[in-house]
């Protein structure tokens, strides 16, 4: 039980710590600062269910795209943004992290998809967020429109002005404040600090309420399933509740509208195809164009290939050796072992579904390109994703007794046995066949992604200068320096 308790604590910490919590005093009463002058509700905003716990931002983005005139369902958003074809992994010293495309980046892929469909995308964030100035400078360099929100009055003005202009907006909130029964467990267990995306579709200054769409109801827990009862679809909450939920997430908001220049049409396939190719093949300059630590990461097919090595007996032993001599060494390593298994299952589930949904949607998006060979290559990854995936790890992220997936339960069993015996070698040996199966499935995904990327490379050949130009320049400079040194040495060496 000690291992399970430790894992639950780590799951809660990782869920909360990965999402910013604003350290401020309680907000003042919104009623005293915002005028009561108008009522506005947008009609016909479509409902998009997020389907899996972790897709809220993308379901909400699909809602905004559709309302702005771009007919992209959830799978279409996964494809047009390329997150369905993106994966990142790092194992360095004590770090062991995996990120499916839907989690690795959200701003840049959304901006890319908006440009494809001739839409304006603007991100808003509070100036109180740590690193906000640097982040905005980075996004500005990338050509992404941003805005700073100084206080809750500006946040509420943004909400009202956006809806008055005829469009909804996405707001990032702490879900424990959402007044829907799906979130009762969060309130009862005082689990605050998480992040969730809502779409605001209306406001009423008289009743001091907003109308919102929640794509996440029914996406987790015992009541999993599409919310046919209508909860979360044009629901309401008070201004004060919205503010408490929104301020916890630094007033992060997305606004997506059609561009003024309706004649500016981008050809989708020549832009989207090469980017999907590079995401699948793991071109680091595409994933992290300005990151000084990008060389430590693995992306695309290479990420799955490296991960397949690190979940073998030798790979796990090598990683866990970093913690030799640590306090409570056995308990610590057992917890890490369990977390690796749960992580592989969670991220494979999120990546696998988004990859499959994106691939299903792509032929309609790129109808001018024959994607038959690409689809065939991509589909070869499906059985490998299915073998590693299980929705129970997303339905019950903090209840280990509810986990039923092959990967998570295998690693949990290993962790428990190791915690009881302290003999890592014998436990890993006992599960060597299972580890080989898991490793081979990850390798199968890597091969499928590589093959699919190579198919796209035959349609849009790689631009070596774009992907490797900086390395070529460095190599050329190095060769030039070597040549100069060689000439100097030759001139200074007496002839014989």
Q: Provide the CA 271 distance to its chain's centre, in angstroms.
A: 22
CB 101 within 8 A of CB 85: yes
Q: How far apart are CA 34 and CA 170, in angstroms?
A: 20
Helix (H, G, I), strand (E, B) or coil at 205: coil
**Torsions phi, psi of 462, nearest 5?**
-60, 135
* CA atoms within 13 Å, Cβ hemisphere of 48: 25
Q: Which residues contact 23 (CB under 8 A, 6 or more apart)?
A: none
Q: Which of 18, 20, 10 minimizes the C-alpha distance to 173?
A: 20
Residues 369/459, Cβ–Cβ less than 8 Å: yes
Bridge pairing between strands 169-173 and 253-258:
antiparallel
Query: How many other CB atoms are found less than 10 A from the CB of residue 267?
Result: 9
Report yes or no: 409 and 400 within 8 Å, Cβ to Cβ. no
pLDDT for 450 equals: 99
pLDDT at res. 383: 99
Q: Give the pLDDT confidence score for residue 258 in this predicted structure.
A: 96
Quick: pLDDT tens for 280-307.
999 999 999 888 888 899 999 999 999 9
The DSSP bridge partners found for residue 14 are: none
What is d(CA 127, CA 132) in angstroms, rounded to the nearest whole number?
Answer: 6
Beta bridge partners of 196: 173
- Tell me the per-residue pLDDT of 326-376, one tens digit each, with 9 for 90 and over: 999 999 999 999 999 999 999 999 999 999 999 999 999 999 999 999 999
How far apart CA 262 and CA 85 sit, in angstroms, is: 29
Whether residue 67 contacts residue 167, with contact meaning beta carbons closer than 8 Å, is answered with: yes
Q: What are the helix and strand counts (H, E) for the chain? A: 21, 11
Distance CA 327, CA 337 (A): 16
Strand partners, 473: none
**Is 255 in contact with 122 (CB distance < 8 Å)?**
yes
N- to C-terminal Cα distance for the chain? 80
Helix (H, G, I), strand (E, B) or coil at 28: coil
Burial class from Cβ neighbours inside 10 Å (0-12, 13-18, 19+) for residue 77 reads buried
Q: Say how many C-beta atoms besides its own lie within 10 A of residue 108's C-beta.
A: 18
Q: How many C-beta atoms surround the C-beta of residue 98 within 10 A?
A: 23
d(CA 375, CA 380) in angstroms, rounded, equals 9
Digitized pLDDT (tens) for each residue of the chain, 496 residues in all? 444 444 433 333 333 333 333 333 333 344 443 444 588 999 999 999 999 999 999 999 999 999 999 999 999 999 999 999 999 999 999 999 999 999 999 999 999 999 999 999 999 999 999 899 999 999 999 999 999 999 999 999 999 999 999 999 999 999 999 999 999 888 888 888 889 999 999 999 999 999 999 999 999 988 899 999 999 999 999 999 999 999 999 999 999 999 987 556 679 999 999 999 999 999 999 999 888 888 899 999 999 999 999 999 999 999 999 999 999 999 999 999 999 999 999 999 999 999 999 999 999 999 999 999 999 999 999 999 999 999 999 999 878 899 999 999 999 999 999 999 999 999 999 999 999 999 999 999 999 999 999 999 999 998 655 455 544 444 444 445 444 444 444 444 444 3
What are the residues facing 211 on neighbouring strands?
202, 236
Number of Cβ within 10 Å of residue 122's Cβ equals 18
Q: Using CA atoms, how far apart are residues 411 and 431, in angstroms rounded to an integer?
A: 9
Return d(Cα 212, Cα 176) in angstroms, integer: 15
> Whose CA is closest to 124, among 100, 89, 92, 157?
157
19-71+118-265 CATH pick, 3.40.50, 1.10.3470, 3.90.70, 2.40.160: 3.90.70
Q: Are 173 and 249 in contact (CB under 8 A)?
A: yes
Q: In the numeric block, which tokens belong to residue 386?
A: 């299915």
| Per-residue pLDDT, 26 | 36
CB of 365 closer than 8 Å to CB of 268: yes
Residue 495's CB is within 10 A of a number of other CB atoms, namely: 4
Structure pTM? 0.87
Please give the pLDDT value at position 79: 99
Residue-wise pLDDT tens digits, 404-461: 999 999 999 999 999 999 999 999 999 999 999 999 999 999 999 999 999 999 999 9
Conformational region of residue 232, where left means phi above 0, alpha means psi within -120 to 50, and beta covers everything else: left
* Count of C-beta atoms within a 10 Å radius of residue 31: 12
Residue 21, both tokens: 């919590």
Distance CA 372, CA 422 (A): 52
């Amino acid at each position: 039980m000690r291992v399970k308790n430790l894992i639950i604590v780590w799951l809660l910490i990782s869920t909360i710590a990965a999402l910013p919590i604003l350290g401020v005093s309680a907000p003042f009463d919104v009623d005293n600062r915002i005028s009561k002058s108008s009522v506005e509700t947008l009609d016909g905003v479509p409902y998009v269910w997020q389907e899996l716990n972790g897709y809220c931002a993308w379901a909400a983005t699909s809602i905004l795209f559709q309302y702005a005139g771009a007919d992209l369902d959830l799978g279409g958003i996964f494809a047009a943004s390329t997150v369905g074809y993106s994966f990142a992994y790092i194992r360095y010293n004590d770090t062991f992290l995996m990120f499916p495309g839907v989690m690795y980046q959200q701003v840049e892929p959304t901006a890319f998809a908006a440009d494809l469909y001739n839409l304006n995308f603007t991100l808003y964030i509070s100036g109180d967020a740590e690193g906000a100035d640097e982040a905005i400078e980075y996004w500005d360099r990338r050509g992404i429109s941003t805005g700073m929100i100084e206080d809750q009055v500006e946040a509420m003005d943004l909400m009202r002005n956006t809806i008055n202009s005829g469009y909804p907006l996405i707001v990032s909130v702490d879900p424990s404040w959402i007044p829907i029964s799906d979130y009762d467990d969060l309130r009862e267990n005082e689990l605050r600090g998480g992040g969730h995306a809502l779409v605001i579709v209306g406001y009423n200054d008289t009743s001091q309420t907003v109308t919102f769409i929640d794509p996440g109801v029914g996406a987790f827990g015992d009541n999993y399933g599409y919310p046919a009862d209508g909860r979360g679809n044009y629901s309401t909450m008070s201004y004060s509740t919205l503010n408490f939920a929104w301020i916890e997430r630094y007033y992060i908001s997305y606004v997506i509208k059609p561009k003024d220049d309706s004649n500016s049409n981008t050809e989708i396939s020549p832009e989207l195809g090469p980017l999907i190719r590079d995401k699948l093949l793991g071109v680091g300059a595409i994933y992290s164009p300005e990151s000084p630590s990008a060389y430590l990461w693995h992306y695309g097919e290479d990420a799955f290939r490296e991960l397949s090595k690190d979940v073998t007996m030798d790979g796990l032993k090598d990683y866990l050796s970093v913690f030799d001599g640590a306090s409570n060494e056995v308990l610590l390593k057992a917890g890490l072992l369990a977390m690796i298994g749960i992580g592989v299952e969670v991220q494979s589930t999120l990546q696998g579904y988004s990859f499959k949904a994106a691939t299903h949607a792509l032929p309609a998006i790129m109808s001018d390109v024959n994607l038959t060979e690409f689809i065939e290559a991509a589909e070869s990854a499906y059985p490998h994703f299915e073998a590693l995936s299980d929705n129970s790890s997303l339905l019950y992220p903090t209840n280990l007794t509810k986990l039923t997936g092959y990967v998570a339960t295998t690693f949990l069993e290993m962790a428990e046995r190791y915690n009881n015996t302290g003999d890592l070698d014998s436990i890993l040996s006992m599960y060597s066949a299972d580890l080989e199966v898991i490793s081979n499935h990850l390798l199968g995904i890597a091969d499928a992604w590589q093959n699919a990327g190579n198919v796209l490379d035959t349609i849009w050949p790689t631009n070596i200068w774009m992907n490797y130009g900086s390395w070529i320049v460095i190599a050329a400079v190095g060769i030039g320096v070597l040549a100069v040194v060689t000439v100097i040495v030759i001139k200074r060496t007496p002839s014989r």
